[in-house]
Structure 1
């Protein structure tokens, strides 16, 4: 998998200390500092962690197995909503994620996305192993500062393993975890670094939960974090809530979600409509604090998703919400304002064949009405005149400085998600009152007429929770795992998506009947790892 851990640690360290200048990434030598120096002091360990914080959203071309074509979570977050048709593309545009939405990427063992996700997550694991092993082997003093370092290392390792086991293995709730093959479980950091065989899904989850327990224990005595790019005890509980939800440990999910959101109050209407471009929002528990010098430009989250970003991906391909989901949002719910069902279809290359002018757009009879509708969107939402618009497009994610390529923060975890995890977990335990209590604060904040008592059975509650997740967390990368957990297939017939564009991604059978939901293991990993053979391929 990786041959020299020292090179890996150096790379992670240099990510912290340098800007995202492409020339540097291609030419900087990787032997200027040893692994021993990188781990020689708590301060240097913190720098390695800072490298991981940066790697969450940075281009990874300087890392073995990495590529500048994927910038961490800035790519993976929208991609996991694109795969299921929850974040809908409206045109071919410049091609980014087109193969993903057509299900021609995660099902191909030689694809860039399959390799990049695998190797990046194992880079996180290897770096965390190095920190954890160094502290244990040298018997270092565990003060508040070291507790913070270890809390983050254990949390990151758990997060990375959960990301791997939920993509490259069968879903916990739809499979047989004790026998289903998971991913290699690694603890070593010394060379030669040749990985391990695949452990069972259950073994991976067992390790994840052990790591989260240790993370939370260390965080209880840790110094405070500097900013939200770093993990803290709330983020560790949030990861625990996600893990427990995915394995059907409903009580643990509910308990962890409550603790995760403590101190992170729900945002109000003004903040919900402000663009989701900063980790300073009150309910953001964890997110990437991106600064100007660290921009990834045309590999950024907002490049892929924002209708205001000055890039060809969104100028030619505004992203929409499913018509079915939008139509289910009550008029009294202010989140509906961030989706524009009557936006004119200005793109002559729109996949639905209705774009270009009032002559082809069924919503407008005159050129004056058509042009006025576009002008209003430009004026109100910061969309430029160069950007196309499309019915049901979103304006949820907007830049602080619209119409530019300026970087903005990337949000990984919000307290809204934790309310929804708690509500789902309580519903799955058949605790109707408990689920209503969990859902009520969020839903009432978003919808002035919301009446939780209407949802008085498990079935009604789950249907409402699913809707709430699809609206509240739209574009935040959760729909892939939601589909697997709920064992729901894909049918975009009434969504507004065009079958000519989506092809195989337009319809897919549910995960329990369809192994195409399991990502392929990178072919180069099978070729290089003596513990894996072609028989291990998904």
Structure 2
């Protein structure tokens, strides 16, 4: 009976999320009866936070988690490429409501509406159930981080990077804290306001998550996950001191350690069997959730059906003995993808099931790399070199790694390349290029209709969906799109 009730509540939540986002886009009222029923009890709030993880997984697993690699210089397309193909070619249209332009907007705000409903319901639940305040505080901390992630992810896709203007006064995304009422005209906030809110939510979540720690449960948001995400957000913002401060706290906590070379590949499995404590800080999986599988293994790893493979430019970054080359790629010997480098971060190259082992939201190795780049910008060059040495040494277990550089700019180049080697296929590369104000320059094997773009560029962001702009007169379209 409990299992049936659990499933029914999750199904209800799925219906609510679908309605809530559609109503947001069309400016219609939210279905209050279902929402009120869900939040009558603390058990309902628990189901709601689980459903919100499920909703976040939905937008990561099908498009968002592939966006920053497909739009970068890391990949070339195969003959069967269709997923994010307009974005690969930088031919996005504001009318693509059924494709990534509309789909990402829809599902990101769907998740945002979910977590806002939870946060708005918690105060009344605390009054009704004073003996369960600790549980509700834990839910609050997780929901605050999820709201920060949603706003941050939306800003990465639909707005120019924080440093696009000197004071970040350019358009960010609409900051929402409740489902809009009918007729409510929702305007875009500035990028400064967007980041201020993301940081505020992450910091406000810390005391809740610290007090009600969930240990090293990687599939739910922890105190360390909030700290790690703060290091990322401050890196994107260019606040180097704060990036280092929060990265230091994560790295100093021995609850999370880098996997050794022998267990590196296991890090990407759903249940890593590591001899050391895991380096995964937060990941999304299908475990315990109703959502189905992902297209990621097929798009990246299927020996016959893969749509994208590693570019010559990406392959050239790896030494022959780098375990990230030898363990994390497969090269089919026959078929359409014969001879191509396909990643096995999500599958083994012979896809027989569509469920990915896990989608990494943030790992400890990224925190080291965040700190390395921030330290370089603080002119702490030796310390920055030591951080990338830690990551590179794990990737080269058979020899001793020494980081030497002919100039400070050479070291910066090495930091950027190490970041790409470590985090390729984990949704970072394109975001890294534009926040550094660099041009996009694809390699000699580029088979996109767009092989290079200078910075700044209107095409570095997606257009706001036409449906939203037409229904919401306060919404401003991104420059360069009709």
Same fold (TM over 0.5): yes
Residue by residue over 1:475-507, the C-alpha shift from the partner in whole angstroms, topping out at 9 and shown as x without a partner, is 11101210111112222233x333xxx112x22
Match of 1:326 in 2: 315
1:167 aligned to 2:157?
A: yes
Question: 1:159: how far off?
Answer: 0.8
C-alpha RMSD over aligned residues:
3.2
Question: 1:253: how far off?
Answer: 1.2
Question: 1:271: how far off?
Answer: 2.7
Give the Cα separation in 1 of the matches to 2:60 and 2:111.
11
Does structure 2 retain, via aligned residues, the 8 Å contact 1:292–1:406?
no
Question: 1:330: how far off?
Answer: 2.5
Give the Cα separation in 1 of the matches to 2:94 and 2:182.
30
Moved more, 44-53 or 177-186: 177-186
Question: 1:195: how far off?
Answer: 5.1
Does structure 2 retain, via aligned residues, the 8 Å contact 1:340–1:392?
no
Match of 2:467 in 1: 524
Question: 1:148: how far off?
Answer: 1.2
Give the Cα separation in 2 of the matches to 1:73 and 1:269.
27
Give the Cα separation in 2 of the matches to 1:259 and 1:456.
31
**SS of corresponding position for 1:430:** coil
Question: 1:436: how far off?
Answer: 2.3
Residue by residue over 1:329-385, the C-alpha shift from the partner in whole angstroms, topping out at 9 and shown as x without a partner, is 2234222214779x57xxxxxxxxxxxxxxxxxxxxxxxxxxxxx2xxxxxxxxxx6
Question: 1:456: how far off?
Answer: 6.9
Match of 2:64 in 1: 76
Does structure 1 retain, via aligned residues, the 8 Å contact 2:94–2:466?
no
Match of 1:65 in 2: none
Match of 1:180 in 2: 170
Give the Cα separation in 2 of the matches to 1:206 and 1:398.
34
Match of 1:13 in 2: 13
Does structure 2 retain, via aligned residues, the 8 Å contact 1:87–1:475?
no
Moved more, 216-225 or 184-193: 184-193
Question: 1:413: how far off?
Answer: 1.5
Give the Cα separation in 2 of the matches to 1:441 and 1:159.
28
Superposed, which structure 2 residues align to 1:429-508 within 5 Å? 429-448=378-397, 449-455=399-405, 457-494=407-444, 496-498=445-447, 502-504=448-450, 506-508=451-453
Does structure 1 retain, via aligned residues, the 8 Å contact 2:111–2:150?
yes
1:287 aligned to 2:276?
A: no
Of 258, 279, 297, the residue aligned with 1:266 is: 258
Does structure 2 retain, via aligned residues, the 8 Å contact 1:178–1:200?
yes
**SS of corresponding position for 1:105:** coil
Does structure 2 retain, via aligned residues, the 8 Å contact 1:102–1:503?
yes
Structure 2 alignment gaps of length 5 or more: 1-8, 18-29
Question: 1:245: how far off?
Answer: 0.7
Bigger radius of gyration, 1 or 2? 1
Does structure 2 retain, via aligned residues, the 8 Å contact 1:483–1:489?
yes
Does structure 2 retain, via aligned residues, the 8 Å contact 1:292–1:407?
no
Of 114, 119, 134, the residue aligned with 2:121 is: 134
Does structure 2 retain, via aligned residues, the 8 Å contact 1:339–1:392?
no
1:421 aligned to 2:370?
A: yes
Question: 1:116: how far off?
Answer: 1.5
Does structure 2 retain, via aligned residues, the 8 Å contact 1:291–1:407?
no
Of 495, 509, 518, the residue aligned with 2:454 is: 509
TM-score relative to the length of structure 2: 0.83
Match of 1:116 in 2: 103
Question: 1:429: how far off?
Answer: 0.9
Match of 1:21 in 2: none
Match of 2:299 in 1: 304
Does structure 1 retain, via aligned residues, the 8 Å contact 2:97–2:465?
yes
Does structure 2 retain, via aligned residues, the 8 Å contact 1:237–1:256?
yes
Does structure 2 retain, via aligned residues, the 8 Å contact 1:470–1:479?
yes
Give the Cα separation in 2 of the matches to 1:326 and 1:533.
40
Match of 1:357 in 2: none
Structure 1 alignment gaps of length 5 or more: 1-8, 18-29, 59-70, 308-313, 345-373, 375-384
**SS of corresponding position for 1:320:** strand
Of 91, 94, 99, the residue aligned with 2:86 is: 99
Q: 1:184 to 1:440 in 2, by over 3 A?
A: same
Give the Cα separation in 1 of the matches to 2:315 and 2:461.
29
Moved more, 32-41 or 475-484: 32-41
Does structure 2 retain, via aligned residues, the 8 Å contact 1:145–1:223?
no
Q: 1:106 to 1:336 in 2, by over 3 A?
A: farther
Q: 1:16 to 1:237 in 2, by over 3 A?
A: farther
Match of 1:50 in 2: 50
Moved more, 115-124 or 469-478: 115-124
Superposed, which structure 2 residues align to 1:134-283 within 5 Å? 134-136=121-123, 140=127, 141=130, 143-189=133-179, 191-192=181-182, 194=184, 196-224=186-214, 227-261=217-251, 262=253, 263-274=255-266, 276-278=268-270, 280=272, 282-283=278-279
Match of 1:88 in 2: 76
Question: 1:458: how far off?
Answer: 3.1
